[in-house]
């Protein structure tokens, strides 16, 4: 199954919603200001945010959609192009270069977005690529977070560096990078506790983890990835903003796009913050993490079957 | 975001004319920006729309309480509507069943079910003197059962021993038996996270429901949820007929519009809030707090409330009538000063008004002496009734009497008289419409 098909299946519910929604709004309707308002409303309902919705409405207005020709197709095309244009420059692959050992990837996010699961899935992708992977269980707060990551490490044959629940997460991270360096490991994935971006002490703790890694490798973490949940509303924008303040975010992964959430917030974030998007999570299974491709994302979201 | 909205709101309303009651145009303008506020707060669009349609007829013709603006009145009306919607009648947790009473927690992945299960157990232990048993039916997420077991151990709450490879429905049956044996009177069942469109997982909770016959089935939902909240709540209600909602992460920066969306579309009451990572960070739901957050205009709401509480409506009517006749007396001035005092003085009134930055700046520059209200009150009280109604008769000897009676000097009395004259002029202007350039600076000079 190609990535595009998989995208489509995962995003099926969402794509249905978007194209169906447009269909109801524009087919056999006069494209007047009321229709344009309805289009804007519908886009807001997809969480794309008020800004993107307004911009798209403006484009609809400027292009003067011709109701005599296929109006749905025109609307779809506009949105598709808008998404592509906004998101194409943000595609990003994570490459495990030969020169850097270990490539240190730090994972951040609020509680319950799917950090541990995403690490497991990422680990699987890298080890399939014959890279040696180490997990650092630096979520020392949530009960059984360490056990959860441990089960993943067994599944994919990665080593795990851990400590007691309640211990200092920075020290776990330090131990892990030390170990990885010594053992010539290709990739170190660091799981951290969920933290709400408005909790100062927790955000400081995160900063400390990032800082302590530099003692072993001043260029690390090479990637700091923020995980976002597709069901989150406008708070996702704040999450990006606040985590950015603490430490530079090098990429985003959006999880849970297999539900009904349209993940439109990803567009809102792309418009506002210009952050690279690495992958999207399309399900609970081990392989349900896909590299982000703007065309596929836009097409799968828009195509009407 | 919050301040932007409030400012925008003020901007729109500063252009609206004062009137005794809200007219249709004012209501429409006001509700348009309220709609924006609701959407930015993640209230689902269809919900925001219906809400506003419902409010419109209630707001049109609504009397505007004196000293508030049309915009402020609309905010208050929307706020009241939100509070009523979110929970006009208190809905407590239902434990009326033959023990052991089963409570089932359901929801999406990562909404916080496991943590909530432990919090709820501890809450019931402390507040309802119950002996809960915690049971995890999540056989899918790695280490989910361990997580609940550890939470139980940490907080001395009993958990059902884990038997590997057992299926959820079998664990459920085992729990019912175990609770009877151990004397637990409440069993809290934590279930696996599931998306509402996952048919096989949704039929699993239906099956669990028929096994457990729970007194409560509560949806655990993240208060940061976006527009999809409506769909989540509707589908879970359809599947298992929810009896309550628990909102988690209410300590985050989300504005909590999801709460409105879910309550509005399903009618299922919100019962608890998770407000932090510690086990005791769990509280009974307060509709007013969420309503405040959604609108982000709590200060306006409390201003209107204070104004309607404190203002002596009759006094105002008299003042208004006098104003119309062009007869603003010292007596009216006195009652105005007293109202101002009740509301925390000039500073108090102004600090409650977000966005009136122009006047606020004037205030700061003017360096107003808050004591002036007290002094003026004393001076007016030392006047005779006749003098209060017709200040023109106050001559030098009357001034002397008034100043010694109020413990001031004749300069102060003069100042008050001058101030009063200006006030009368301004009142006349204001009764014809809002002053475009804020308050004339001379007034502030007079208050120094």
Contact A45 B227 (CB under 8 A): yes
* Overall number of domains in chain B: 3
For chain A, the residues whose C-beta falls within 8 A of a C-beta of chain B are 13, 41, 44-47, 50, 110-114, 117, 141-145, 147-148, 150-152, 165, 196-199, 229, 231-236, 238, 256, 258-262, 265, 284
Contacts of A231 in chain B (CB under 8 A): 108, 222, 225-226, 228, 232
- Asked which of A34-48, A177-191, A208-222, B202-216 is least confident by mean pLDDT, the reply is A34-48
The ipTM, to two decimals, is: 0.81
Interface subset of B 120-139, CB within 8 angstroms of A: none
Task: Flag whether B291 is in a domain.
Answer: no
Interchain proximity A145–B258, CB inside 8 Å: no
The alpha-carbon gap from B198 to the nearest alpha carbon of chain A, in Å, equals 8
Structure token pair of residue B54 = 């419902």
pLDDT surpasses 50 at A147: yes
Is B351 part of a structural domain of the chain?
yes
Pull the structure tokens for residue B242: 């929810």
Do residues B110 and B213 both lie within one domain? yes
Contact at 8 Å (CB) between A278 and A292? yes
Q: Residues A169-182: what's their mean pLDDT?
A: 97
Rounded to whole angstroms, what are the CA distances from A135 to A163, A164, A264, A281, B82? 12, 15, 31, 19, 47
DSSP class of residue A165? T
CA A123 to chain centre: 16
Same domain, B123 and B71: no
B41 vs A: CB within 8 A: yes
H-run or E-run covering A295: helix A294-302
Q: Per-residue pLDDT for A125 more than 80?
A: yes
B45 to chain A, any CB pair closer than 8 A? The answer is: yes
CA distance B232 to chain A (A): 8
Final residue in a domain of this structure, among B253, B285, B317: B285
The sign of the dihedral angle between the CA atoms of B73, B78, B81, B86 is negative
CA distance A48 to chain B (A): 10
Which DSSP string corresponds to B355-384? T-HHHHHHHHHHT--THHHHHHHHHHHTS-
In sequence order, what are the beta bridge partners of A161?
Answer: A136
- Mean pLDDT is highest, among A52-56, A142-146, B407-411, B437-441, for A142-146
Local confidence band at A1 (pLDDT 50, 70, 90 cut-offs): very low
Q: How far does the CA of residue B195 sit from the closest CA of chain A (Å)? A: 6
Residue B36 in contact with partner chain A when CB distance is under 8 A? yes
Q: Starting at the earlier edge strand, list the strands of the sheet with A133-138.
A: A159-161, A133-138, A187-192, A103-108, A223-229, A251-255, A277-281, A289-291
CATH number of residue B239's parent domain:
3.40.50.300
- Tell me which of B237, B257, B285 is where a domain ends: B285
The more confidently predicted of residues A225 and A51 is A225
Angle between helices B396-406 and B371-381 (to 10 degrees): 120
DSSP string, B154-212: HTT-EEPPP-TT--HHHHHHHHHHHHHHHT-SEEEEE-----TT-HHHHHHHHHHHHHH
For residues B150 and B71, state if they share a domain: no
Q: Is B183 on the interface with A (CB under 8 A)?
A: no
Same domain? B64 vs B146? no
> Running DSSP on this structure, what letter comes out for residue B117?
H
Look up tokens 């252009």; give the residue: B15
Size of chain A, expressed as the number of residues it contains = 305
Token pair in block for residue B113: 């079910």
- Listed range (A190-199, A231-240, B114-123, B431-440) with the worst mean pLDDT: B431-440
Inter-chain residue contact B110 with A112, CB threshold 8 Å: yes
Q: State how far residue B127 is from chain A, nearest Cα, in angstroms.
A: 24
Q: Return the CATH number at B309.
A: 1.10.260.30
The pLDDT of residue A69 is: 79
B85 contact partners, CB below 8 Å, separation of at least 6: B51, B260, B263, B264, B287
Query: And the tokens for B427?
Result: 């009142």
B57 burial type by CB count under 10 A (0-12 exposed, 13-18 middle, 19+ buried): exposed
B230's enclosing H/E stretch is helix B229-240
Kindly state whether residues B136 and B180 are assigned to the same domain.
yes
Rounded Cα distance, B448 and B445, in Å:
5
The rounded distance, in Å, linking the Cα atoms of B206 and B193 is: 14
What is chain B's length? 448
**B12 lies in which domain range?**
3-86
Instruction: Answer whether residue B65 is part of any domain.
Output: yes
Per CB-CB distance under 8 Å, the chain B contacts of A44 are 39, 45, 227
Do A45 and B108 lie within an 8 Å CB cutoff?
A: no
| Residue B11 belongs to domain with CATH number | 1.20.120.140
- Across the interface, whether the CB atoms of B110 and A50 are under 8 A apart is answered no
CA angle A210, A216, A219 (to 5 degrees): 60
Residue B197 lies in a domain: yes
> Terminal CA-to-CA distance of chain B, rounded, Å?
36
- The DSSP bridge partners found for residue A228 are A254
Percent of chain A with pLDDT over 70: 90
Question: Are residues B81 and B123 both part of a single domain?
Answer: no
Angstroms from B147 CA to nearest CA on chain A? 4
Phi, psi (5° rounding) for residue B107? Answer: 160, 180
B296 falls within a domain:
no
**Which residue, B430, B334, A25, A216, is CA-closest to B438?**
B430
DSSP string, A192-252: E----TT-HHHHHHHHHHHHHHTTT-TT--SEEEEEEETTB-THHHHHHHHHHHHS---EE
The token duo for A172 is: 């776990």
Is B228 within 8 Å of A41 when comparing Cβ atoms? no
* Residues B237 and B379 both lie in one domain: no
- The Cα B115–Cα B155 span in angstroms is 12
Residue A52's pLDDT is 82
Residue B299 lies in a domain: no
Asked if B288 reaches chain A (Cβ–Cβ under 8 Å), the answer is no
Is beta strand A277-281 parallel, antiparallel or unpaired with respect to A251-255? parallel
Instruction: Tell me which of B258, B285, B312 is where a domain ends.
Output: B285
Q: Is residue B440 classed as helix, strand or coil in its secondary structure?
A: coil
B344 shares its domain with B373: yes
Residue B274 has a pLDDT of 93
Question: Is residue B346 domain-resident?
Answer: yes
B80/B174 same-domain check: no
Mark whether B257 and B141 lie in a shared domain: yes
pLDDT confidence bin for A4, thresholds 50/70/90: low
Q: How many CB pairs under 8 A join A and B?
A: 138
Residues B212 and B109 in one domain: yes
Q: Is residue B94 part of a domain?
A: no
- Nearest partner of A192 among A222, A168, A216, A214, judged by Cα: A168
Q: Rounded mean pLDDT of chain A?
A: 87
**Which are the contacts of B359, defined by CB distance < 8 A and separation ≥ 6?**
B350, B353, B438, B439
Binning chain B into helix, strand and coil, the percentages to the nearest 5 are 60, 10, 30
B234 touches chain A (CB under 8 A): no
Measured between CA atoms, how close is A240 to chain B, in angstroms?
Answer: 12
b/e per residue A263-278 (b: at least 16 CB within 10 A): bbbbbbbbbeeebbbb
Residues B115 and B248 in one domain: yes
Residue closest to A120 by CA, chosen among A284, A263, A8: A284
Cβ contact B225–A197 (<8 Å): no
Give yes or no for a contact between A282 and A300, defined as CB atoms under 8 angstroms apart.
no
Instruction: Find chain A residues with C-beta within 8 A of B108's C-beta.
Output: 231, 256, 259
Q: Going residue by residue through chain B (448 aa), what tens digit of pLDDT does each one get?
A: 334 445 555 665 666 666 677 888 888 878 887 887 788 888 888 889 888 998 888 888 887 776 777 777 888 888 888 888 888 666 789 999 999 999 999 999 999 999 999 999 999 999 999 999 999 999 999 999 999 999 999 999 999 999 999 999 999 999 999 998 989 999 999 999 999 988 999 999 999 999 999 999 999 999 999 888 999 999 999 999 999 999 999 888 777 888 889 999 999 999 999 988 899 999 998 888 788 777 776 666 766 776 666 555 556 666 666 666 666 778 777 777 776 666 655 555 555 444 444 555 555 555 556 677 788 888 888 898 888 888 888 888 999 999 988 888 888 888 888 878 877 776 666 556 554 445 555 554 544 4
Average pLDDT over residues A183-194: 96
């Amino acid at each position: 199954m190609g990535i595009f098909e998989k995208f489509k299946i995962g995003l099926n519910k969402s794509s249905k919603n978007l194209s169906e929604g447009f269909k109801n709004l524009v087919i056999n309707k006069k494209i007047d200001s009321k229709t344009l308002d309805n289009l804007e409303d519908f886009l807001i309902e997809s969480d794309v945010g008020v800004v993107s919705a307004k911009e798209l409405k403006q484009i609809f207005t400027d292009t003067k959609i011709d109701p005599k020709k296929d109006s749905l197709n025109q609307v779809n095309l506009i949105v598709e192009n808008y998404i592509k244009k906004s998101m194409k420059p943000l595609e990003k692959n994570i490459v495990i270069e030969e020169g850097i050992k270990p490539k240190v990837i730090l994972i951040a996010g609020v509680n319950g977005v799917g950090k541990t699961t995403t690490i497991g899935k990422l680990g699987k992708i890298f080890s399939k690529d014959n890279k040696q992977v180490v997990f650092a269980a630096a979520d020392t707060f949530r009960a059984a977070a360490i056990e959860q990551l441990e089960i993943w490490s067994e599944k994919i044959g990665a080593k795990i560096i851990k400590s007691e629940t309640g211990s200092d997460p920075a020290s776990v991270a330090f131990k892990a990078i030390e170990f990885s360096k010594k053992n010539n490991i290709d990739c170190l994935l660091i799981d951290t506790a969920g933290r709400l971006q408005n909790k100062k002490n927790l955000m400081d703790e995160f900063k400390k983890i990032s800082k302590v890694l530099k003692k072993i490798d001043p260029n690390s973490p090479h990637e700091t990835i923020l995980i976002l949940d597709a069901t989150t509303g406008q708070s996702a924008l704040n999450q990006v903003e606040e985590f950015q303040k603490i430490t530079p975010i090098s990429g985003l992964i959006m999880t849970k796009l297999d539900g009904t959430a349209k993940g439109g917030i990803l567009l809102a974030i792309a418009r506002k913050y210009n952050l690279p998007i690495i992958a999207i999570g399309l399900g609970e299974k081990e392989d349900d993490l896909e590299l982000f491709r703007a065309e596929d994302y836009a097409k799968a979201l828009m195509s009407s079957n | 975001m919050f301040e932007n909205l409030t400012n925008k709101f003020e901007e729109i309303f500063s252009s609206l004319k004062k009137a005794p009651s809200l007219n249709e145009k004012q209501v429409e303008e006001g509700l348009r920006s309220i709609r924006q506020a609701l959407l930015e707060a993640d209230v689902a669009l269809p919900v925001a729309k219906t809400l506003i349609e419902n409010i419109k007829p209630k707001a049109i013709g609504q009397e505007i309480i004196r000293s508030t603006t049309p915009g402020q009145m609309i905010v208050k009306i929307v706020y009241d509507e939100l509070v009523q919607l979110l929970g006009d009648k208190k809905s407590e947790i239902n434990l009326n069943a033959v023990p052991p009473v089963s409570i089932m927690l359901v929801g999406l992945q990562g909404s916080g079910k496991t943590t909530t299960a432990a919090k709820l157990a501890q809450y019931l232990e402390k507040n309802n003197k119950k002996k809960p048993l915690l049971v995890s039916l999540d056989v899918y997420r790695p280490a989910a059962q361990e997580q609940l077991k550890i939470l139980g151990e940490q907080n001395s709450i009993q958990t059902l021993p884990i038997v590997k490879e057992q299926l959820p429905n079998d664990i459920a049956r085992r729990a019912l038996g175990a609770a009877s044996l151990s004397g637990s009177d409440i069993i809290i069942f934590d279930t696996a996270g599931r998306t509402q469109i996952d048919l096989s997982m949704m039929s699993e909770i239906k099956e669990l429901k028929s096994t457990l016959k729970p007194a409560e089935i509560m949806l655990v939902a993240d208060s940061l949820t976006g527009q999809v909240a409506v769909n989540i709540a509707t589908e879970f209600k359809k599947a298992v007929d929810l009896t309550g909602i628990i909102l988690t992460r209410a300590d985050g920066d989300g504005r909590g519009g999801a709460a409105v969306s879910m309550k509005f579309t399903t009618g299922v009451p919100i019962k608890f809030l998770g407000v932090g990572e510690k086990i005791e960070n769990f509280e009974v739901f307060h509709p007013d707090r969420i309503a405040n957050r959604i609108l982000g205009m709590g200060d306006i709401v409390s201003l209107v409330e204070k104004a309607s509480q404190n203002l002596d409506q009759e006094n105002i009517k008299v003042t208004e009538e006098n104003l119309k006749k062009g007869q603003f007396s010292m007596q009216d001035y006195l009652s105005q000063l007293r109202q101002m005092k009740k509301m925390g003085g000039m500073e108090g009134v102004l600090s409650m008004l977000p966005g009136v930055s122009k006047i606020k700046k004037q205030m700061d520059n003017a360096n107003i002496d808050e004591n002036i209200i007290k002094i003026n009150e004393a001076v007016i009280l030392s006047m005779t009734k006749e003098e209060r109604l017709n200040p023109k008769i106050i001559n030098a000897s009357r001034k002397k009497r008034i100043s010694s009676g109020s413990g001031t000097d004749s300069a102060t009395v003069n100042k008050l008289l001058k101030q009063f004259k200006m006030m009368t002029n301004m009142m006349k202007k204001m009764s014809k419409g809002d002053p475009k350039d804020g308050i004339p600076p001379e007034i502030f000079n007079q208050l120094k």
